[in-house]
Structure 1
Amino acid sequence: MAKQFKAHFKNVDNTGFGPNSSVEGGRLTNKDGSYNLRKSGLRFYERISIYHTLLRMSRTRFFLFIFLAYSSINIFFACIYLAVGVDKLQGSEQAHTLVDKYLTAFFFSSQTLTTVGYGHISPLGFWTNAIASIESLMGIMIFALVTGMFYARFSRPRAYIRFSENLLVSPYKGGKALMFRIATYKNNHLTDAEAQVTIAIHEHTAGGNVTTRFFQLPLEFSRINSLALSWTIVHPLDEHSPISHFTEREFKELKIELMVTIKAFDDHFSNTVMQRTSYTADELVYGAKFLPMFERSVDGYQTNLQLNKVNEHEIVQLENVVNVDNVLDVIDAEEN
């Protein structure tokens, strides 16, 4: 059976994930590289780092968060000015209705928070000036923090690697191999790129429980000097592979998950960058090969890397490869 591994295939115990699959939900690593994990047991503010949340937030959500926070602060202070009395704001004499008074207080708050101060409206009296002073101080600190977050997001080193959506079992040197493809999609230059691939295999034990075993997969090339074009990362399904005897059905039944880590050196940032992803059995295509994704330019002086083809593949017929280890197992079983 495919779930019976040879003794010389030692499973990895330092992945950070436990072997008990019965208490886990779904995949271990999400496609974006984050862990499929939700922490509990502590109060919310103890479990959440605002800095890391804002740093990893998508661009759209980040700008939406800034806009909502800015609007909420102005709404809050506008209510305070309205409670104190809009008549304490010099220049608000033309505001007669409640809506006009609130809008006057709101826009005065936005001018105070941003320290613009057009001068059309100014505070009168102690309490109004005190509130405006507190809001001005908050505005200075908030915009300093926002500016810092903009810089942190802008200057944060990233790998900018695009992974193929599918994991393929392809023909390879008269046998088979597990393959996926990556490419950088920005104008950054990565050198000394290194790939680490760990497979998690969920299998049923005799007691009916589900356990997970981890194996480090040897690669055809685990390191390349430069990630200028695409890189097809290949794990040969030979005698050195713990999954060499897996059939298509066994890949699906055991619910494998391939966890990938790519490390490289970005010479623009002079820093090491890293990106993770994972593939599950549902994303595996058995009997396919990748199509070329780069070609010579029309003028013949450049190479055109077509990033939209990083996942393009075609179905092929896998040869019936006889695995020597499997044959020996059958002979031993017959002799015993």
Structure 2
Amino acid sequence: MARGFKKRIQQKNTDNSGFGASASGRFINKDGLPNVKRKGINVLNRLSWYHTMLNLSSFRFISYLVLMYIFINIIFAFIYYLIGVEHLTGIDKSDPVNEFIDVFFFSSQTFTTVGYGRIAPVGFTASLVATFEAFLGLLTFAIATGLFYGRFSRPRAYLRFSDIAVIAPFQDVTALMFRLAPYKNNALTDADVTLSTAIEITENETTKINFYRLETQLSKINTLALNWTVVHKIDENSPFYGFSADDFKNTNIEMIVHVRAFDEVFSNTVVQRSSYVSDEIIHGAQFIPMYYPDFDGQSTILDLDKINEYKKVSLPVADPDKQ
């Protein structure tokens, strides 16, 4: 953050955000993970491969498994080729390319413990490598099965946040709003939201980051079935009280969102986070409704394509005597 806000904010600074005043950049990425880089420890201890594989998208997860499977079999194919194709029965010795292809498919059959029988190892060295590869294949598929189960059974909120937040009219003043909606057919109940904001403040020629708790008009709902527009009223109790459109634009702000709900299927609490920075806050805008009755009036359509749609609106004129 590089731009400081020079007006004095009356609300008390809070220090329970988990981030220090010396932190820089975005605190929470759009995917909900902290924007933190760790040093002072080697990469093997710094990175949890299990958490990494569980957090990957489905496409990247499957792609990594396929690439790893191909890579391992290429390595073993080179090992068999270096040992000599004469130590593998059933190899087509017409040319090196066909020989390597046959060795590769023998490796894949050994790795998966399929063993069709056309090609078989001959001699101690080739048999030893094939035995080790079959053992490695069993371990690898056991790990892959565990990861598949972990990804399949892992409780997740499956919430989609709007890409932008808006400053909209609300109860004769203005409010900071964003919205979220479930995009899967999971049943979420007792959902609650916690908001905090980081604002860069300039006082006595010194720039620092202060954290504030943001009160919401509705912090908890019984059932999260449709979209939920979270509203923070900008009044005397808000750290944004007195902010103009230029203040929102020129001040480094990050609003951190923490949503917690109970998933009835998993019988477990699920959590999802997101954040909004200054460039993602649109002043003088209002969200367009994203759900409407079905054509027969028997159900409700939740149109997730409309989660970011808004219209420009005029805001109430602030009373300068109150700022």
> Counterpart of 2:117?
119
Matched AA of 1:57: L
Q: Which residue identity does 2:19 align to in structure 1?
A: F
Structure 1 stretch displaced more, 119-128 or 95-104: 95-104
Deviations 1:50-95 (A, max 9, x none): 1111111121211111111111111111111111111111111x32
List structure 1 segments (4+ residues) > 2 angstroms apart after TM superposition. Answer: 203-207, 321-326
What is the DSSP-based 3-state SS (H/G/I as helix, E as strand, rest coil) of the residue aligned with 1:151?
helix
Write out aligned runs for 1:38-77 (5 A).
Answer: 38-77=37-76
**CA drift at 1:197:** 0.5
Gap regions ≥5 residues in structure 2: none
Length, aligned pairs only: 319
Task: Work out whether 1:304 is the aligned partner of 2:301.
Answer: yes
In the alignment, is the contact (CA less than 8 A) between 1:191 and 1:264 conserved in 2?
Answer: yes
Q: Which whole-Å deviations, capped at 9, do the CAs of 1:277-335 have from their partners, x for residues lacking one?
A: 11011011111111111111111111111111112111111111327642xxxxxxxxx
The aligned residue for residue 329 of structure 1 is none
Partner of 2:83: 84
Contact 1:2 1:250 in 2 (8 A): no
Q: Is the alpha carbon distance of 1:188 and 1:158 closer, same or farther for their aligned partners in structure 2, counting shifts above 3 Å?
A: same
Cα distance in 2, alignment partners of residues 204 and 101 from structure 1 = 71
Relative distance call for 1:267 and 1:323 in structure 2 (3 A) is: farther
Equivalent in the alignment of 1:133: 131
In 1, Cα distance between equivalents of 2:78 and 2:31: 42
SS in 1 for 2:181: strand
Q: Deviations over 1:231-267 (max 9, x none)?
A: 1100111122121111111112221110001100010
Letter in structure 2 aligned against 1:75 = I
Cα drift, residue 203 of structure 1 = 2.2
1:5 matched to 2:9: yes
Amino acid at match of 2:18: G
Q: Give the match's secondary structure for 1:107.
A: helix
1:163 is matched with 161
Q: 1:212 — aligned with what?
A: 209
**Of the candidates 250, 258, 266, which is equivalent to residue 255 of structure 2?**
258
Shift of 1:2: 6.0
**SS of corresponding position for 1:196:** strand
Provide the secondary structure at the position in 1 that maps to 2:60.
Answer: helix
Q: What is the percentage of aligned positions where both structures have the same residue?
A: 45
Please, what TM-score do these two structures have when normalized by structure 1? 0.91
**Shift of residue 96, structure 1, vs aligned partner:** 3.0
TM-score, scaled to structure 2: 0.95
CA RMSD of aligned residues (A): 1.4
Find 2:266's aligned residue among 252, 265, 269. Answer: 269
Give, in whole Å, the separation in 2 of the partners of 1:88 and 1:20: 64
Q: CA deviation at 1:204?
A: 2.8
Q: Which amino acid aligns with 2:141?
A: F
Report the Cα distance in structure 2 between the residues aligned to 1:323 and 1:184, rounded to whole angstroms: 40
Instruction: Report deviation, 1:205.
Output: 3.7
